[in-house]
Structure 1
């Protein structure tokens, strides 16, 4: 039986399929990131309009930390398919801590350097500036940093490390009648 990924690929137009297969790690990373973006946004807004009303940076940080834990589990099990080594866990949370800081910087600049907050601007302008700086700009820059750092340091396969011998790649024959290209599995 084809995997969920193979079933999804079978529905993709033929001309896009090779691109998605070639960049499958990035596609999976973006799907995990999209889900975690929505989770961060919901938690951030809930905190910001309730218990952390006057602390928008803290609300964004708490929301990002929660989404980071979810992101770790999903990236490790699906996007990068890696074992749970202690080194990996430590590096993931170290990279994520830096990324949380990267994510917060645009909001801090918007609020406290550019003074895009009440009483200097309207409540609507403040919320729009917070969303654009923290959720859009901050998340985008942190996402770029995370993908680069995760692929480089955290979810590296032994075969990808400098000086390692090439690993054998396991492949399986496609199911009869299956038209999508075969996706090689990563060997840990």
Structure 2
């Protein structure tokens, strides 16, 4: 991994972010599975249980992603980040619940295994792909590059001054 980090630092950084994001996601996923299945076992409607379990997972994911996964990225304001995080998770949750609804209402699969596969495997996987790219792009943007006044492909001398005309 060290060799990769020196040869391809951007790829190594992406791999580290994916690993951290996956760890946070795994913890949030466990929370979501436990809460959702507990609610279903206690008679809560399928869709309501799925939404409530997902909301609990969103809270866990925000803390982990803001302070650990993307902790080295630009801080654009707690309110802005929270708002965008919730919006992106709303879209991700719609993807997840859409998979659940398709399985339940279109395919007629209403058993516990079908509910878990459609909402907690397929839905979570598709929603997670969306969330990762949305977090990296909009919620926790990269640090701005230092602005250089000197052009990259410059024929100027090291001191940055243009040669005098003769």
**TM-score normalised by the chain length of structure 1:** 0.68
Instruction: Give the structure with higher Rg (CA).
Output: 2
The alpha-carbon deviation at position 64 of structure 1 amounts to 0.4
* CA–CA separation in structure 2 for the residues paired with 1:33 and 1:16: 27
- Aligned with residue 60 of structure 1, among 50, 69, 74: 50
Counterpart residue number, 2:147: 165
Partner Cα separation in structure 1 for residue 140 and residue 59 of structure 2: 15
Shift of 1:15: 7.9
Q: 1:30 aligns with which of 9, 22, 25?
A: 22
Question: In 2, distance between residues paired with 1:70 and 1:88?
Answer: 15
Give the CA RMSD over aligned residues.
Answer: 2.2
- 1:111-170 CA-partner distances (Å, limit 9, x unpaired): 1111113xxxxxxxx11111110000000000000001111100003416xxx737xxxx
One of 87, 92, 101 as aligned partner of 1:94: 87
Compared with structure 1, are the counterparts of its residues 15 and 78 closer, same or farther at alpha carbon in structure 2 (3 Å cutoff)?
A: closer
**Residues 1-188 of structure 1 correspond to what in structure 2 (within 5 A)?**
18=5, 21-22=12-13, 23-52=15-44, 55-81=45-71, 82=73, 83=75, 84-117=77-110, 126-159=111-144, 165=147
Taking the aligned partners of 2:20 and 2:39, their CA distance within structure 1 comes to 28
Instruction: Provide the secondary structure at the position in 2 that maps to 1:145.
Output: helix
Q: 1:72 to 1:128 in 2, by over 3 A?
A: same
Q: Equivalents in 1 of 2:103, 2:136: separation in Å? A: 30
Structure 1 residues without counterparts, runs of 5 or longer: 1-13, 118-125, 167-188
1:159 is paired with a residue whose SS is coil
Give the helix-richer structure, 1 or 2: 2
> 1:26 and 1:16 mapped to 2: Cα distance?
18
After TM superposition, which residue ranges in structure 1, 4 or more long, deviate above 2 angstroms? 14-22, 82-85
- Alignment length, in residue pairs? 140
Question: Scaled by the length of structure 2, what TM-score is found?
Answer: 0.76
Q: Deviations over 1:80-138 (max 9, x none)?
A: 00545321111111111111111111110111111113xxxxxxxx1111111000000
